[in-house]
Amino acid sequence: MKEFGGTISDEGFDYFQWSLPRTDLIELIPEGARRILDVGCGVGKTGQVLREKGFEEIFGVEVDSRAAHQAMPFYKEVIVGDVDRDILPFAEGFFDCILYGDVLEHLIDPWRVLHRHRQMLSEDGTIICSVPNVRYYGVLRSLIFKGEWDYTPLGILDRTHLRFFTLKTIEDMLRETGFEVKRVIKKKRCGKIMRLLNKLLLDGLIDFLVVQYRIVGVKADKSH
């Protein structure tokens, strides 16, 4: 395990204990992908499932050193580091797939991180991201009608989020950093009234009902 700094934080470490393996991202990994980087691997729950599915060359990077140590058994290598600040020690084109499971919104400069990590991705490699949707109607309802933008321990307004995205701004960020969006999966959360209203409007409200987007991207071209 390589250490570039990292942190030891009881609050940060406890944050991972509620987390689940990202099987929703794992199912999007393309056939034939061999080397995988799990950015923000936490305590290794996603790595454990990847290992059980037969993946062997799994690498993780995690800023919280306690979580990284717990994740070690499930990865070929875990790096303790801050991807906003640290350059990861992997060769150009090393990875077939990079996972960002609810990570990009926690970064100071996700644009720079994506652009830098693009160099580590093979020419036909894939990135898989999950990003919360700040356009979700529950957030807007509180903002518009109550004037509230209250941070919470978890969710879209997680107090550790530094960046907020809509589908358009996620897609813009990926394009600006040299990626082409190949697939968008929308995770909805709403009550019966909102579902009915959306149906009557021919799915016109869909992007207000999505709490999280899962995005699959590939390198746009070789000019970036």
Q: Is 46 within the bounds of a domain?
A: yes
Structural domain that includes position 95: 2-134+163-190+209-219
Q: Is 9 within the bounds of a domain?
A: yes
pLDDT in tens, 127-181: 999 999 999 999 999 999 999 999 998 899 999 999 999 999 999 999 999 999 9
Enclosing H/E stretch for 70: helix 65-71
Instruction: Report residue 116 CA to chain centroid gap.
Output: 16
Q: Is 198 within the bounds of a domain?
A: no
Q: Is 71 within the bounds of a domain?
A: yes
Running DSSP on this structure, what letter comes out for residue 91? -
Q: Is 148 within the bounds of a domain?
A: no
Q: Is 145 within the bounds of a domain?
A: no
**What is the side-by-side order of every strand in the sheet holding 35-39?**
2-3, 77-80, 57-62, 35-39, 95-101, 121-132, 210-219, 179-188
Q: Are 125 and 99 within 8 A, CB to CB?
A: no
Q: Is 151 within the bounds of a domain?
A: no
pLDDT in tens, 83-117: 999 999 999 999 999 999 999 999 999 999 999 99
CA distances from 207 to 78, 132, 157, 158, 187 (A): 36, 11, 17, 20, 10
CATH number at 66 reads 3.40.50.150
Instruction: Report residue 221 CA to chain centroid gap.
Output: 22
How many Å apart are CA 74 and CA 78, to the nearest integer? 9
pLDDT score recorded for residue 5: 55
Q: Is 215 within the bounds of a domain?
A: yes
pLDDT in tens, 66-88: 999 999 999 999 999 999 999 99
The count of domains in the chain is 1
pLDDT score recorded for residue 13: 45
